[in-house]
Structure 1
Amino acid sequence: MERKARAAAESGVLLLVIAGILVALNALSALGVYKRFDLTKAERFKLSKGSANLVHDMKQTMKVDFYVTKGLPKLDAFVRDLRDLLQEYKDASGGKFDYTIIEAKDEEQKKAAKEAGLRETPFGEASATEEKAAVTMGFMGLVLKYGSEKDTLPYLDPSNTSGLEFWITNKIREIRDKADDIKHKVGVLTGHDEMKLTEANLVPAQLGKPSMQDILVKNFPFYSFQDVDLKNGDNAIDESLDGLVITQPGKDLSEKELRRIDEFLLKGKSLAIFASAVNVKANDASMNATLATHGLEKLLEGYGIELKKEVVLDFGRAFTVNMLTQGGIAAKRFPQLLTVQDDPRFTGDEALLDASFPAFFRMTDLAVPFASPLVLHADKQPDATVRAIARSSPNANAVGGDSVDLKPFQNWATLRKKGALAQYAIAASVEGTLKTAFPSGDKQGIETPEKSAKPARLFILASSQFLANPFARAGNAPDMGQMGMMMPQMGGDEQLQQLAQPYAQQAITQTILSFKNTLDWLGGDSELLAVSAKILNEAPLVYGEVSKPNIDFENETEEQLKKRDEEMKAARKTTQNKVQWLLILGIPLLFSLYGVYRWRSRLAARENVSLA
């Protein structure tokens, strides 16, 4: 009895101690003293190193007024989360970032918020227990002041917390660059009928006319684009540019122009190429491609990258759109548009997407239209790292010739059986001390060293329309100026425009973000890549029991391929169900069994106690 009393007293004391610890932790949390641990892959719940360094390295102090509306559970939770994020900026800044929370209740505060550029917005929230909703008017935005500059994030949506750090950090960067006169100039090659960044080719015409350059300049105005016309090689490239971008040319580059690009790169600069051998004209609904590399192959060959005059058709990872047909909803595949995914089941030299490379940082998938194969020859650049950073699936083939029919709806069986199926590199990088691409021949008055004076960088994504929506570019009617503004839906190919909408929904956000990351890479701002990754959705789980697809694309019919798809989906669903029930029932059951085991062990131990 004495032993039982002692055990009961010890248990009571232990419970009191645990209760005291919990009360203390809750009290500290209420006072704002707590620590969060973020174990997510994208570090979604802690400040990125790039954001921390940005505010820490500011020359002046930034003041932020955080206008909030409270009173509803969702609003209160959002305010708390954003306050925590702002506090992390403050803690990392070394005294160069501070914020004030303002709940605009009186007319004077509301007037100040409106004059600063914030929008008064209705906020509503339905009751979970009663058939009614609460509505209130107020503000939810930031006013940022740095030096002589002032700007706002006029409205933050409490129902969408993803990407908050992304938009705040980019706004901080924008204001800082204006006040401190920091320039980010990117050169874009012109003069060869290139696919321009200013083309309105991202969505079907009836949805508007946004261009890649418009979106970037509007949302990230710290970038400026400068046309680079080499004038057949007579003009050198401005050394003040952060880097040079080459988009799909429509005419050949002369050797003298290629030597000018080599000259620029050997000064320790950066070059990004978004081009392939696949040339599909704008507003051409036939989508018949001519195959030509327009001289880029001569430049790339010198850096250890062979650009093949072929188009990659990927039957293993084709871009897929679910469409309404007479037989119901059917998945339509477009093998001329590759879906390149970060799939950990493919490793080493089979890896599909290197999500550690800046342009693709932490991305889960990308749509890559009209790609050409790349073959790497690392021996040509012994002092640099030459590597493939994106590949097709192993079930792809490369088709050559002078032209290839790439219209969306066709029987792909003939093209599928042209050549053996294989995996192809479609993106590559070269980084380090580069040797000139033109060590011999007529220098044509352009003197270049044998090697770059400092490390230089080259990135190529061998896709002619990666920076566009290929269905919109081919399906939209030609720009008709004033008449087109009066009748915006006139002309064009309706079927391609219908396909352009799901392509925009599925692919364009990642495309824009990848290009923004490339611009950061060109300018040496790679630290901010982790911030950009936070606007993306979390990567889907990959289940090890669902093996890599092993499909006989050469001999199987479309019906058999469809059946394979269903089998893969069923296998994935089965594995998901197993994981779900393991988490719901399995782990609690294991804890229960362990508790019973411990209880029975104690009983057995007590029965064997000797009172001698």
Structure 2
Amino acid sequence: MANQRTKAASESIAFLVISAGVLIGFNAIFAILPPLRLDWTEDELYTLSQGTKRLASSITDRLEIVAYFSEDLPPPFNATERDVRDILSEYQSAAGSNLVVTFISPDTEAEKEEAQEAGINPVTHQRVTSDGAQVVEGYRGIVMRYLDRTEVIPVVQDTSGLEYLLTTNLSLLLNEKHTIAVLTGHEGATLQEGLQTLQACAPLYEFREVSAESEIDPEIEALLVVGPQTPLSDAELRNIDSFVMAGGSLGVFGGSVALTVENQQPSFSTVDTGVNTLLRPYGVVMESEMLLDTQCRRMQTPQGPRSSPPFVLVDLTLRQSTDCSNNDDCLDTAGPGFQCDKGTCQHPVTFRLEETWAPFGAALEVTEGASERAAVIAVSTENSWTQEVSSINAGADFTPRSEGEKPLMVAIQGEIPSAFEEGQTSNDQARVLVTGSALMVRDEILGQVQQMARQQCPMIGPFASALNAIDWLAQDADLIAVRAKDVSDPSLRVPENVESAEEEAEEAIRQAREAGQDAVNALVQGDQAGLDNAVGSQNDAIGAREAALERALLAREEWDAKMQQYRWGNMLGVPFLFALFGVVRWRMRLSRRKNISI
């Protein structure tokens, strides 16, 4: 028996030694390999986008990143340095030996002076202890240097948008700015009035104003026409057409509906700026009626005090094709539809966006035979309709009509036929983006989004779509996938029965409102028969509304109960399974010991 015990002990020691050797060997191998991270999030939130990797791999000289982070920062900033280290290690893996990363904790006076000279100043933090709250200073900033250029991130607030900041600054270090021109002379938006917010949030671009009375500089990469209110001359239209035929990009934001605000009240008018003379041969027509939607937001007037009466800014849900992929590989391919290995991908302008705002805009129509080069990339909801501009009073209630989805944004790419020279087409570099709303890119809307999000450049809805549009026109898609990342906690998808019940309730409410309006009209006209019919219809609609609301409430309660089950399952289910596994394993070991014969 003693020999058997000695043999068993020797075998156990040998097994432990071999296992330790294997583990040490694996650690040594993985220590010299690039770090490996598994990202199972749907949008690959914690993995560098393809555009960032491509940009980092283009570094040809030494690029130095110095991160200044004080030790022992209070929560939640004590975890920021670790997250910054992780993301910078991803940049190093993509860039190779040309990227050098250094972390410094400014403890000495010399290090603090060095940080401040580089543009990183200390920020105050509040540390809560048993003795009360204390105010402490600390550093959490990043400096990037390449050749004779330097970019600074003075304060890393959190890491949710850090890849966007780093990649933006990396592009500023490595590349020259793209030139974007804005058409002047037609009472539309200018760089001084209307587009200041867009400029401030697009640091990769150099904006300038141009006139189309003469030939447009071919060095300009994209021309923006934002809300013109007076007609473009034939010479201007011809010069813009020549610019597109030569491979330039054109963005047309509005041009058929004009908005003016007087005494804090908006008024609208139809304008014939001539843009359709240019756009119709390209493949799209901007209609003269305003596009309205029941899915809208109520906001203050662009001018006047906050106490002024609010009016409706009609905004349209930006809906994508259901068979699209979110993989950002499609951003590297060209052509309408953006085919890639994993199926039809989303267009870069609308990449991963769920909605945007298109206030006071016109619907679009793709012309016959243009579908191969013109792609509808954003539409209104099914509960939208068009209405004569002259009949609209922004302070009054609208009578909704469901006319189905309407094209809101159209992207044109490929061989675009000239609007003036028969038989002439552009080269494959030309791009045209058309939307019926000028406010999509103007300060009046972007400024209000800033106030709502309490950020200077929030990468949501209108901001993201505006910047994506500029990127696509300038043929620089590196930041689009980064901009689309949302690191907020993902929410569970609401089941179809809940959505359908709520949609039925909304439809019943709309029908009841229409019946009530019909009753009012019949009463004013003295039509007793019409009044009786309208009242009967209203009663039926009210009954249907109550039933639909009850179904929606029951469906929502069932869904809430199911979410509670998910929540408790995550909290208790996983620990229970681990405990059960331990008990089962323990019982199996006891059983094996009882069966050992000596």
Q: Same fold judged by TM-score > 0.5?
A: yes
Q: Distance in 2 between matches of 1:87 and 1:346?
A: 31
Q: Distance in 1 between matches of 2:25 and 2:263?
A: 66
Q: Which residue of 1 aligns with 2:122?
A: 120
- Does structure 1 conserve the Cα–Cα contact (< 8 Å) formed by 2:247 and 2:426? yes
- Does structure 2 conserve the Cα–Cα contact (< 8 Å) formed by 1:184 and 1:223? yes
Q: Distance in 2 between matches of 1:594 and 1:284?
A: 72
Residues 148, 539 of structure 1: alpha-carbon distance in 2 compared, 3 angstrom cutoff: same
Q: Which residue of 1 aligns with 2:180?
A: 186
Q: Distance in 1 between matches of 2:323 and 2:46?
A: 27
1:137-152 paired onto structure 2 within 5 Å: 137-152=137-152
Alignment pair present for 1:519 and 2:470: yes
3-state SS in 1 of match to 2:170: helix
Stretches of structure 1 that go unaligned for 5 or more consecutive residues are 202-210, 323-331, 348-353, 441-448, 474-496
Letter of the aligned partner of 2:179 in structure 1?
Answer: K
3-state SS in 1 of match to 2:172: helix
Residues 170, 391 of structure 1: alpha-carbon distance in 2 compared, 3 angstrom cutoff: same
Residues 283, 109 of structure 1: alpha-carbon distance in 2 compared, 3 angstrom cutoff: farther
Residues 163, 571 of structure 1: alpha-carbon distance in 2 compared, 3 angstrom cutoff: farther
Residues 553, 436 of structure 1: alpha-carbon distance in 2 compared, 3 angstrom cutoff: farther
Alignment pair present for 1:376 and 2:363: no
Letter of the aligned partner of 1:40 in structure 2?
Answer: T
- Does structure 2 conserve the Cα–Cα contact (< 8 Å) formed by 1:279 and 1:464? no
3-state SS in 2 of match to 1:43: coil
Residues 40, 187 of structure 1: alpha-carbon distance in 2 compared, 3 angstrom cutoff: same
Shift of 1:255: 3.0
Residues 112, 579 of structure 1: alpha-carbon distance in 2 compared, 3 angstrom cutoff: same
Q: Which residue of 2 aligns with 1:359?
A: 349
Residues 90, 117 of structure 1: alpha-carbon distance in 2 compared, 3 angstrom cutoff: same
Residue deviations 1:449-501, cap 9 Å, x none?
Answer: 6111334211112213112355799xxxxxxxxxxxxxxxxxxxxxxx9x995
- Does structure 1 conserve the Cα–Cα contact (< 8 Å) formed by 2:318 and 2:353? no
1:557 paired residue among 504, 513, 521: 513
Residues 100, 508 of structure 1: alpha-carbon distance in 2 compared, 3 angstrom cutoff: closer
Shift of 1:185: 0.3
Q: Distance in 1 between matches of 2:261 and 2:87?
A: 45
Q: Distance in 2 between matches of 1:134 and 1:31?
A: 40
- Does structure 1 conserve the Cα–Cα contact (< 8 Å) formed by 2:373 and 2:414? yes
Alignment pair present for 1:91 and 2:93: yes
Q: Which residue of 1 aligns with 2:258?
A: 279
The TM-score normalised by the length of structure 2 is 0.74
Q: Distance in 2 between matches of 1:89 and 1:531?
A: 14
Q: Which residue of 1 aligns with 2:307?
A: none
Q: Which residue of 2 aligns with 1:492?
A: none
Alignment pair present for 1:301 and 2:299: no
Shift of 1:140: 1.0
3-state SS in 1 of match to 2:362: coil
Q: Which residue of 2 aligns with 1:204?
A: none
Q: Which residue of 2 aligns with 1:453?
A: 427
Q: Distance in 2 between matches of 1:52 and 1:471?
A: 33
Q: Distance in 1 between matches of 2:108 and 2:228?
A: 59
Aligned-pair identity in percent equals 25
- Does structure 2 conserve the Cα–Cα contact (< 8 Å) formed by 1:278 and 1:464? no
Alignment pair present for 1:392 and 2:370: no
Alignment pair present for 1:290 and 2:269: yes
1:586-601 paired onto structure 2 within 5 Å: 588=574
Alignment pair present for 1:411 and 2:397: yes
Letter of the aligned partner of 2:412 in structure 1?
Answer: V
State the superposition RMSD in angstroms. Answer: 4.5
3-state SS in 2 of match to 1:374: strand
Q: Which residue of 1 aligns with 2:162?
A: 164
- Does structure 2 conserve the Cα–Cα contact (< 8 Å) formed by 1:367 and 1:507? no
Shift of 1:214: 4.5
1:212 paired residue among 197, 206, 220: 197
The TM-score normalised by the length of structure 1 is 0.72
Q: Which has the higher contact order (CA 8 A, sep 6+)?
A: 1
Q: How many residues align?
A: 519
Q: Which residue of 1 aligns with 2:337?
A: none
Letter of the aligned partner of 1:186 in structure 2?
Answer: I
Q: Distance in 2 between matches of 1:256 and 1:538?
A: 53
Residue deviations 1:498-531, cap 9 Å, x none?
Answer: x995598899753233222222212211132112
- Does structure 2 conserve the Cα–Cα contact (< 8 Å) formed by 1:355 and 1:364? no
Shift of 1:308: 1.3
Q: Which residue of 2 aligns with 1:481?
A: none
Letter of the aligned partner of 1:454 in structure 2?
Answer: D
Shift of 1:311: 0.8
Residues 504, 282 of structure 1: alpha-carbon distance in 2 compared, 3 angstrom cutoff: farther
Q: Which residue of 2 aligns with 1:436?
A: 418
Stretches of structure 2 that go unaligned for 5 or more consecutive residues are 301-309, 326-343, 515-540
Q: Which residue of 1 aligns with 2:111?
A: 109
1:468-487 paired onto structure 2 within 5 Å: 468=442, 470=444
- Does structure 2 conserve the Cα–Cα contact (< 8 Å) formed by 1:165 and 1:534? no
Q: Distance in 2 between matches of 1:151 and 1:335?
A: 38
